[in-house]
Amino acid sequence: MADSTATATPETTTDGMRRRDFIDVAAVSAAGIGGLAVLYPLISQMAPSKDVLAASSTEVDVSSIEPGQAIKATFRKQPLFIRRLTPAEVAAANATPAGSLRDPASLADRTKEGHEDMLVTMGVCTHLGCVPLGAAEGENKGEFGGYFCPCHGSHYDTAGRIRKGPAPTNLEVPEYTFTSDTTIQVG
Ligand code: FES
């Protein structure tokens, strides 16, 4: 006659969990921890290193730029224009109602507070990507005194805003900050 009393077999723990269940759970947990351990270096490799971040930003000393002058720099392999406006160029930009423009923006919108005379834009026409004239001494600045793109005749004003020609939007103002009164970091 068979004994009907339940006894713990080697496959059964005292709380009713089968030993195989326990082994399975333990194996999955170990795999999970192993998975995380593998994942972390992968994620940390995907984050940009300090070297890459440094290469993707540009620091420029703007102290030598005189009013009315501009310099050309490079930001992420593209031309960057940094221009110190004269008081007359600031006044011309501020005299134009932003709402009347194709791509409405004020000079204050496009510069940093306390540095409204320092215009930082990409030197890339927003029509088809030519490099506008106007940053170098003696170059054609167009009908509005800013930049002129000779490819198809886009004219930008002293705030780098599109005023005439086929370009749809203003010259792009990249992300930048003044790290001191005389230095900007772009990107
Ligand atoms: S690329 Fe500048 S006007 Fe066409």
139-159 pLDDT per residue, tens: 999 999 999 999 999 999 999
DSSP the chain: ----S----TTB-TTS-BHHHHHHHHHHHHHHHHHHHHHHHHHHHHSPPHHHHHHT-EEEE-TTPPTT-EEEEEETTEEEEEEE--HHHHHHHHTS-GGGSSS---TGGGSBTTBTTEEEEESS-TTT----B-SSTT---TTTEEEEETTTTEEEETTS-EEESS--SPPP---EEEEETTEEEE-
Q: Please state, rounded to an integer, the average pLDDT across all residues of the chain.
A: 84
Per-residue pLDDT at 14 exceeds 80? no
152 is an active site residue: yes
* First-to-final CA distance of the chain: 85
Residue 56 has a pLDDT of 84
Share of the chain above pLDDT 70, in %: 71
133-140 contact pairs (CB < 8 A, 24+): 134/70, 134/81, 135/70, 135/71, 135/72, 135/81, 135/83, 136/70, 136/72, 137/69
Domain ranges of the chain: 1-47, 52-186
Residue 6 has a pLDDT of 43
- Superfamily holding 52-186: Rieske [2Fe-2S] iron-sulphur domain (2.102.10.10)
Per-residue pLDDT at 85 exceeds 90? yes
What are the angstrom distances between the C-alpha of 74 and each of 3, 15, 109, 129, 183?
Answer: 88, 70, 23, 15, 15
Q: What is the pLDDT of residues 32-44, one digit of tens each?
A: 555 555 554 455 4
Per-residue pLDDT at 64 exceeds 80? yes
Ligand 1, pocket-test mutation among 127, 133, 147, most atoms within 8 A of CB: 127
Ligand 1, pocket-test mutation among 121, 122, 128, most atoms within 8 A of CB: 128
Residue 96 has a pLDDT of 94
Residue 9 has a pLDDT of 46
Any idea which of 38-42, 90-94, 125-129, 171-175 has the lowest mean pLDDT? 38-42
Total residues belonging to the chain? 187
Ligand 1 pocket member 154 (CB < 6 A)? yes
> Whole-prediction pTM value?
0.73
Q: Name the residue with higher pLDDT: 3 or 86.
A: 86
Per-residue pLDDT at 92 exceeds 50? yes
* Residue 125 CA to ligand 1 centre (angstroms): 6
